[in-house]
Amino acid sequence: MSNPIPESERTEIEAAAFRRLVEHLRDRTDVQNIDLMNLAGFCRNCLSKWYRAEAQERGFDLSDPQAREEIYGMPYEDWKARYQAGPKQEHHG
């Protein structure tokens, strides 16, 4: 039987899982945001908005472009120019 995860470790595990998700999305530049929205109901932009909201709740003033760069690993405009395929659609959810 496994031991329950202590609350002191839970945040570290969740943060590591978040970093893996972000890295996975950075690596999978072939997966378009519109595809993520259609299949999963969220995209990289949603994730950046959640990141920004959580930072602001903790007193950190983070702009939308800064939050997107945290998720995309580069300025959003650069990512769009390099990797966005098809019509230039943007989700604002």
**What's the total number of domains in the chain?**
1
Domain carrying residue 69: 32-84
Task: Express as a percent the part of the chain with pLDDT over 70.
Answer: 91
Is residue 19 domain-resident?
no
Mean pLDDT of 30-44: 96
Provide the CATH number for the domain around residue 38: 1.10.3340.10
The whole-model pTM stands at 0.84
Q: What is the pLDDT of residue 87?
A: 63
- Among 89, 51, 57, which Cα is nearest to 70's? 51
pLDDT tier at 91, thresholds 50, 70, 90: low
Q: Looking at the domain assignment, is residue 4 inside a domain?
A: no
Q: What is the pLDDT of residue 88?
A: 57
Q: Identify residue 62 by its one-letter amino acid code.
A: L
